[in-house]
Amino acid sequence: MSALALAASTTLASAVTKISLNGSLCTVLTIRSDHGLLAAKDRASCSQIFGGGLIGSVKGEGKAAIFGIQNPASPGDQFVLTLSYPFVGGGTWKIYTTTDGQHLSLSQSGNYSVNAPAQRAKGLKSAFGR
């Protein structure tokens, strides 16, 4: 009986959300959440980014999902992605970048769609790269 309860609580706590970062880019993240821990991967569009994160509060920003993101196509860059939380259509996103671990700057920002299809329009590029 306790094993069944544990399995049910694990199932209820885990969730998968697809988020499309709207704008002139082609990034669609599949986000897996489990007890406040997050993992993200772009499997649906042109970038191959991945990362992990947490849900927290950022001074001046409010509640957010915060990710450290890697892009294999940009090995010298480190990205920090914030998504307003909870995940709702029209939520906001910001990408910060650093190449030296000392200076972090806002790279791009916009709104996101939840469970949106991949944006594969010709000429669009990933928000995570050069």
Domain region containing 74: 8-114
3-state secondary structure of 64: strand
In a domain, 128, yes or no: no
In a domain, 97, yes or no: yes
In a domain, 76, yes or no: yes
Q: Please report the pLDDT score of residue 102 as a whole number.
A: 95
Q: Is the peptide bond before 75 cis (omega within 30 degrees of 0)?
A: no
Q: Please report the pLDDT score of residue 13 as a whole number.
A: 55
- How many angstroms separate the first and last alpha carbons of the chain? 53
In a domain, 127, yes or no: no
Q: Into how many domains does the chain fold? A: 1
CATH number for the domain that contains residue 95: 2.40.128
In terms of residues, how long is the chain?
A: 130
Burial (CB count <10 Å: 0-12, 13-18, 19+), residue 50: middle
- φ/ψ (deg, to 5) at 47: -95, 160
Q: Please report the pLDDT score of residue 115 as a whole number.
A: 81
Q: Please report the pLDDT score of residue 6 as a whole number.
A: 38
In a domain, 119, yes or no: no
Mean pLDDT by 10 residues, the chain (130 residues): 40 76 76 91 77 92 93 90 94 95 94 68 51
Q: Please report the pLDDT score of residue 130 as a whole number.
A: 47
